[in-house]
Amino acid sequence: MSTQHQNLSSFDPKDLPSVEGKRFCIVVAEWNSSITYALLNGAKDTLLSHGVGESNIQIIYVPGSFELVAGASMAYQKSKPDAVICLGCVIQGETRHFDFICNAVANGLTQLSASHAAPFIFGVLTTDNMEQAQDRSGGKHGNKGVEAAVTAIKMTNLIDD
């Protein structure tokens, strides 16, 4: 794997556009909460450290990753944020449930982005085991929540161009 020893969350803060007046919603799954809450902390800290006001960050909790799509849709309909960041963690098990959940969430968020012409960010870990999830939620591969927030910031800039 080419990214085996890389911190994937590294970025140059100077490359990020202004977030002045931007509003963000973070929808986070409660399932695998030791992982998803670490993703949430990474995303929220990144938004705050780049100038997003606390009052411009809405956090919505949903039971699991499958519910991210419905939660994101409801949040967008209610408050029309500039971007919706969806955070979850699906860990491979012995059944095909993993495949169904991952595909449903990816396709659902893609459809939301296309139908609303707004960014719905896929910050869902799809790992083989808990160790891989930990490595990507603040461990040796960085924090996917940070990456999701950076992506959201960059995508909101496209709307303004």
Cα four-point dihedral sign 118, 39, 60, 31: positive
* From 5, 50, 97, 141, active-site residue: 97
Quick check: is 5 catalytic? no
4-56 pLDDT, tens digit each? 545 555 666 667 767 888 999 999 999 999 999 999 999 999 999 999 999 99
pTM > 0.75 = yes
Q: Which domains does the chain show, CATH number per domain?
A: 22-160 (3.40.50.960)
| Cα within 13 Å of Cα(39), Cβ side | 31
